Amino acid sequence: MNRLINFLFLVVLLAVSGHVVAQTKTNPPNIILVIGDDISYDDIGCYGNGKVRTPNIDRLSERGIRFNNMYVTSSSCSPSRTSLLTGRYPHNTGAAELHEPLPAHLTFFPELLQKAGYYTALAGKWHEGPETARAYDRMEVGRKRNGEGGEKQWMDVLDTAHASGKPFFLWLAAIDAHRPWSADSQFHVLHDPEQDVEVPATLWDDGETRGDLASYYNEIGRLDSYVGKIVQNLRKKKILDNTVIIFMADNGRPFPGSKTRLQDRGLKVPFVVCWPEQVDQSCVTEALCSGVDVGPTLLDIAGVTPTPDMQGRSFVSVLKKPSSSFRNYVFSEHNWHDFEAYERAVRTKDYLYVYNGRPKLDNGGSLDVRNTPSYRSLERLIGSGKLTELQREPFLKPRQREEFYVMATDSVQVRNEIGNPTYAHQIDRLRDILHRWQRETGDTEPEVLTHRIAKPDGKFRKVKGEMPGASCDATHNHNKGPF
């Protein structure tokens, strides 16, 4: 009799387990990835900025988990996004420089979702090349289709995705808050330059800079309003609880000392995940994560196995247990973005080490950073003795070949401790880790990089050089490097 009871119990248990698995397979979550353009982590309300108005992103954080240590692989738009799309470092994508197309042989994580039965769509900014089109059932790209902020088609794409009857993945890429600004005249929530901005330590506090920052905040506010519209649309369709919403940015703010820099102000981005059915509310994690991990994580959420060519790893374990640790290191790179560059960085929770292969060149930022009121305010004061060391830094030439920063005593990363015997061991260790990462992943430092030369009319033209990693066939190197 006992054997019969045990047998029947086992049958019931297996039946229930099978039902749960069947539910998971037949009702996988929808996934929406919202990517802001050129937004630093501390320019969002839930990250401690008390001036910028981001109520909808803040509510996502309240209903989900906020990552305090998410680092992208490049502080430059397209290289950062190629890492998100492929789960690979920029030099391993063949598109390490700005506006380079991805090669056909790479795997794009949305196409794996597509093959697993997802409807996939993209709307907004896109400059990763024609091969990526195969990963989407629908693409709505460019300002003409998506408006100045890049969000115009988002609701229509969401409606189409829901009507497909399939679980869906949406890559919603805003043009906000990329320069030039347009929200000042088109958006109803405006920030007052005197009252509603926080001036970062990298910038000079004057009227021009404050006006520049207010326009930047307005762009962020417009993006936030569309995040709110997404949530309302999902709630109306009664699919909000079964939809994973991720908000992040591709790199730091488009201001001097941030965009194209390998310090936190260029690489550390907001990253919020709202997944009501699986993630507890109002959680914060200090786990160290990289942009290469985003694709594998979204695949894991959908129950899809990443391909071996993806160098990142899933951090679903952090979503389930925010107190858990993840990476020991994150790696980043700075290659051509309007100017010749070769910089590499490795970051731990405690230290940042940066290698600069072109110390004779300054890093005042990309052209859209240099042609700004904020940059001109700093430029006017060079030699006046009024600028701090951090504010003078964009104009410094030559620069040091190596930089090392200690987070416990220098969170803004202005005091270079290279040469300080107190940190000799830590410097040697991170230098070795960075060299190991370069060696294992096939990173190279070409003698002739892409650069600019002056033309007779005073303008400049781009001269194509060798892509980092090309001589080692890095696009076929799948080594993950140190973790």
pLDDT tens by residue, the chain, 483 residues: 444 444 444 433 334 333 333 334 568 999 999 999 999 999 999 999 999 999 999 999 999 999 999 999 999 999 999 999 999 999 999 999 999 999 999 999 999 999 999 999 999 999 999 999 999 999 999 887 888 899 999 999 999 999 999 999 999 999 999 999 999 987 777 899 999 999 999 999 999 999 999 999 999 999 999 999 999 999 999 999 999 999 999 999 999 999 999 999 999 999 999 999 999 999 999 999 999 999 999 999 999 999 999 999 999 999 999 999 999 999 999 999 999 999 999 999 999 999 999 999 999 999 999 999 999 999 999 999 999 999 999 999 999 999 999 999 999 999 999 999 999 999 999 999 999 999 999 999 999 999 999 989 989 999 999 999 999 999 999 999 999
Do strands 168-173 and 30-36 pair parallel, antiparallel, or not at all (unpaired)? parallel
The residue among 249, 240, 251 whose CA lies nearest residue 271 is 249
- Identify the helix (H) or strand (E) that includes residue 120: strand 119-124
Predicted structure pTM score: 0.94
Q: Supply the pLDDT for residue 11.
A: 38
Per the rule left: phi > 0, alpha: psi between -120 and 50, beta: everything else, 171 is beta
How far is residue 310's CA from residue 299's CA, in Å, rounded to a whole number?
Answer: 11
H helices of 237-315, in order, are 264-267, 294-301
Q: 154-163 vs 207-236: helix axis angle to the nearest 10?
A: 20
- Residues 214, 226: Cα–Cα separation, whole Å: 19
Residues in the chain: 483
Say how many C-beta atoms besides its own lie within 10 A of residue 274's C-beta. 22
- CA–CA separation, 51 and 196 (whole Å): 5
Alpha helix locations (H) across 1-43? 2-26
φ, ψ at 65 (rounded to 5°): -130, 135
In the chain, domain spans: 29-328, 333-476
Report the sign of the C-alpha dihedral through residues 320, 34, 244, 86, in that order. Answer: negative
Q: How far apart are CA 138 and CA 303, in angstroms?
A: 22
Q: Do 284 and 46 contact (CB within 8 A), yes or no?
A: no
pLDDT at 10: 41
For 22-38, the pLDDT digits (tens) are 334 568 999 999 999 99
CB 224 within 8 A of CB 149: no
* Token pair in block for residue 4: 């019969």
* Nearest Cα to Cα of residue 153 among 163, 162, 143: 143
Q: Taking Cα atoms as reference points, which of 31, 239, 173 lies closest to residue 116?
A: 31
CATH topology for the 29-328 domain? Alkaline Phosphatase, subunit A (3.40.720)
**For 260-358, where are the E strands, in sequence order?**
271-274, 283-285, 289-290, 330-334, 343-347, 351-356
Looking at residue 315, the DSSP 8-state letter turns out to be -
| Token duo for residue 343 | 């910089």
Across 289-311, b (16+ Cβ under 10 Å) vs e yields bbbbbbbbbbbbbbebebbebbb
* DSSP class of 103: P
Judge if the upstream peptide bond of residue 398 is cis by omega within 30 degrees of 0: yes
**Rg of the chain (C-alpha set):** 23
331, 344 contact by CB (below 8 A): yes
d(CA 150, CA 344): 31
pLDDT of residue 144: 78
Helices marked H in 345-463: 367-370, 373-380, 389-392, 424-441
Tens of pLDDT, residue by residue over 235-267, are 999 999 999 999 999 999 999 999 999 999 999
pLDDT the model gives residue 12: 39
User: What single-letter amino acid sits at 59?
Assistant: R
Q: 319 φ, ψ to 5°? A: -60, -40
Three-class SS of residue 138? strand
The pLDDT score that the predictor gives to residue 26 is 63
Q: What are the φ and ψ backbone dihedral angles of 392, each rounded to 5 degrees?
A: -80, -20
What is the distance between the alpha carbons of residues 427 and 420, in angstroms, rounded to a whole number? 9
Give CA torsion, residues 96, 101, 103, 107, to 10 deg.
Answer: 80
